[in-house]
Homo-oligomer: A and B are copies of this chain.
Amino acid sequence: MDRFSVTLGSKASCAGKPQDHGHTLPILHEIRHALERLLATGEETRIDLNAMPFGPGDLERLRAWLGTGEVQASVSAMGLTLIQETAIPGVWLVDYQNADSQRLTLHLEIAPVPEILRPQPQDLAEAIATLDARMDEGQSNPP
């Protein structure tokens, strides 16, 4: 198990959910638990919303409950990933798309910042070498 616990990666059992809120309430409670873990131990959580047994309107209802925060981001690598902060600090929507802008999956990520926005540790470790290479290149033919 990597340091993420994808707690709702498989079909969630949502017995007894109040009909008017669809599958939204169980996910909100799961987000709450994930925030408790994040604050207590730093453990980050990803919830794959594509795996949820959503009924009509459930996803829109969930997004309305979560609201929208100040930060938007995109990562362009083998297709675009769109990141939207929700109104709940530490709760992010991460929309993975393929090169044809089709959704691959939609995650909720409970973390200070989604992992995809953070440089990989080994890339960060090689940052100085990357800079040196660019400086050498730039010295021989200045931009």
Which A positions have Cβ atoms within 8 angstroms of B? 20-21, 25, 28, 31-32, 35-36, 38-39, 60-61, 64-67, 70-77, 83, 87-91, 112-113, 117-120, 123-128, 130-132, 134-135, 138-139, 142-143
Q: Which 3 A-B pairs have the closest CB atoms?
A: A64-B143, A73-B73, A89-B119
Closest residue on chain B to residue A110 by CB atoms = B127
Within the complex, which residue of B39, B83, B118, B126 is in contact with A112, where a contact is CB–CB below 8 Å?
B118
The reply to whether B89 and A32 contact each other, CB–CB distance below 8 Å, is: no
Q: Is the CB of B124 within 8 A of A112?
A: yes
Given A61-B143, A113-B113, A130-B71 contact (CB < 8 Å): no
Q: Which residues of B contact A83 (CB under 8 A)?
A: 73
